[in-house]
Structure 1
Amino acid sequence: MLDIYLPILVLIGIAVAFAIGSVVFSGLIGMKKPSAVKLSPYECGLSPVGSARERVSVKFYLVAVAFIVFDIEVVFLYPWAVVFKQLGWYGAAVMGVFLFVLIIGFIYDWKKGALEWE
């Protein structure tokens, strides 16, 4: 039974060794001359203003989650488009139902105001 799991254990060992080796190697050869410019966070070339611990509006997270949900659902259109001719009318009907549910969810989010920045 060990011969079945041996490749998986070897892969896990290689992954752990690579992760630890990368951290150790970068610590050994990395530059060790910190300065105020190098230690400051990079913000599009501008000096950071304010604290990094400011509260962020929940609206940001709602829009982000809605974007991810709708983006992932639209990804399902690509495999359907590839095999559209083989699926025939059944595939078109199922995709129509899928798009209908997607549009209803989008309209619901829109009416609830989840996409508005106030």
Structure 2
Amino acid sequence: MGKATHLWFLVVYFGAVFALVAAMIGGSFVLGQRHTARSTIQPFESGILPVADARMRFPIQFYLVAMLFVVFDLESVFIYAWAIAIRPAGWNGYIAMLGFIFLLLAALAYLWRIGALDWGPRPRIRPVPGVR
């Protein structure tokens, strides 16, 4: 079989996929129900109509936790890969991983120290009367 035959199979495959998608979308358009009531065009979840705008603001801590999760999750992948190849890596790999984990712990301690992991309101420090 030449290259033209393989290319022909690819063209037929994409044509079949396109035809299948067009048939499903067209079938749902032709066979679907038509509703014009006001309540049918509103989005709802679990049968509950919305009572407020969906664009509400979340505190920045939610995004911070999400970023920290992604960072530490990715680093756990590196540690797992190292654990799989621990014998070929030898002592050099072990020392490099200790350094890597030390940097992770240093970054976590820094975030903890600056208060990036605090969720509650910051407490106010009140001066004690008569003490300087």
TM-score category, normalised to shorter length? 0.5 to 0.7
1:92 maps to amino acid: Y
Q: CA–CA distance in 2 between the matches of 1:20 and 1:52?
A: 36
Q: CA–CA distance in 1 between the matches of 2:34 and 2:97?
A: 58
Are 1:94 and 2:101 matched, yes or no? Answer: no
Shift of 1:85: 1.1
Contact 1:84 1:92 in 2 (8 A): yes
Shift of 1:18: 5.3
Deviates more, 1:45-54 or 1:70-79: 45-54
Query: Counterpart in 2 of 1:41?
Result: 44
Query: Counterpart in 2 of 1:111?
Result: 113
Query: Counterpart in 1 of 2:54?
Result: 52
Q: CA–CA distance in 1 between the matches of 2:61 and 2:113?
A: 14
1:40 maps to amino acid: P
Query: Counterpart in 1 of 2:74?
Result: 72
Shift of 1:32: 3.8
The total of aligned residue pairs comes to 106
Q: CA–CA distance in 2 between the matches of 1:114 and 1:98?
A: 21
Deviates more, 1:94-103 or 1:30-39: 30-39
RCO comparison, higher one (Cα < 8 Å, 6+): 1
Distance 1:80 1:27, change over 3 A: same
TM-score (norm 1): 0.66
- The alignment partner of 2:55 has SS state of coil
Contact 1:63 1:114 in 2 (8 A): no
Q: 1:82 aligns with which of 73, 76, 84?
A: 84
- How do 1:2-41 and structure 2 match up within 5 A? 14=14, 22=21, 24-30=22-28, 31-33=32-34, 36=39, 39-41=42-44
Q: CA–CA distance in 2 between the matches of 1:112 and 1:41?
A: 41
- The alignment partner of 2:65 has SS state of helix
Q: What is the aligned-residue RMSD (CA, Å)?
A: 3.3
